[in-house]
Amino acid sequence: MAGLQNFTPTPLDLTVHSQSRVLEISYSDGANFRIPFELMRVYSPSAEVQGHGPGQEVLQTGKRGVELAALDPVGNYAVQPRFSDGHESGIFSWDYLYFLGSQQEKLWADYNTRLDAAGVARDTPMIDNAAHSCANH
């Protein structure tokens, strides 16, 4: 299946904690992660965030307070979150959620480095470049 490796542990339980804004996920190998919605949003696997190739990533800002409006199953291999900011195009496979959960410290550090390099703060509102560029065509 797309996005699911043969060796990927499978989730046993997913719990959305709306108040603390984390997705708790327990895997068959005993791993348990609490993934902040903000981390999921800024590292969404969607083309809107990742771009269509290396170097085309779109730095996400202003997502600290993002909430999970819904979490829809995608077959037996993934979920598709719908975030309160309207983003709903990322499909999070079990292995991608495992990656986010197991690499949180490194991902937060990388995110902060990218913010610093761009000269923006974590809570800086996003500028909708897609809407501006589409309006000109």
Q: Which residues pair with 74 in a beta bridge?
A: 78
State residue 132's pLDDT score. Answer: 34
User: Whole-model pTM?
Assistant: 0.87
pLDDT digits (tens, 9 = 90+) for 42-87: 999 998 899 888 888 899 999 999 999 999 999 999 999 999 999 9
State residue 128's pLDDT score. Answer: 60
- Burial (Cβ within 10 Å: 0-12, 13-18, ≥19) of residue 108: middle
State residue 36's pLDDT score. Answer: 98
State residue 6's pLDDT score. Answer: 67
Cα separations (Å) of 101 from 48, 57, 72, 135?
A: 21, 20, 19, 38
- Mean residue pLDDT across the chain: 88
Q: Would you tell me which CATH number, out of the four given (3.60.110.10, 1.10.3720.10, 3.30.70.580, 3.30.2020.30), belongs to the domain 11-135?
A: 3.30.2020.30
Q: Is residue 133 predicted with pLDDT exceeding 50? A: no
Residues 9-30, mean pLDDT to the nearest whole number: 95
The domain limits of the chain are 11-135
